[in-house]
Amino acid sequence: MDLPETDLQEMLDELDPSTRTLVAEVDLGGQALAFMQSDLGRHLVGCLKQEIVLAQDALATTSPWRFIKVQELQNRIWRAKFMLSWLRELLTGGKSAQSALNEQEQGN
């Protein structure tokens, strides 16, 4: 949609708050998808997955008595998985919002 910024804003202002929220979620989901399909996004996702594998491998060979090292490795895994979950949530939220908007349009 190639509308001037002011026309787009006027259209958004006319929507009810719940529909505006859905439109925003669809937009964020689209931006997340574009990011993940970009070179930077693919690189970041690859780095996060590699971080998980490397930390899991190190954790598997770390003595359970090395509490601080175990905790450090668990935190590395958690951080990488958490970041990936944020990206997945943006994608899923965008798809769900698009479905909800489609249902609203069909109901009208």
Q: Where are the domains of the chain?
A: 16-103
pLDDT level of residue 96 (50, 70, 90 thresholds): very high
Is the pTM higher than 0.85? The answer reads no
pLDDT the model gives residue 68: 97
Question: What is the 3-state secondary structure of the chain?
Answer: CCCCHHHHHHHHHCCCHHHHHHHHHHHHHHHHHHHHHCHHHHHHHHHHHHHHHHHHHHHHCCCCCCHHHHHHHHHHHHHHHHHHHHHHHHHHHHHHHHHHHHHHHHHC
Percentage of the chain lying above the pLDDT 70 cut: 86
pLDDT tens across 41-73, in order?
999 999 999 999 999 999 999 999 999 999 999
pLDDT the model gives residue 1: 47
pLDDT level of residue 87 (50, 70, 90 thresholds): very high
Look at 8 and 96; give whichever has higher pLDDT.
96
Over 60: is that where the pLDDT of 3 sits? no
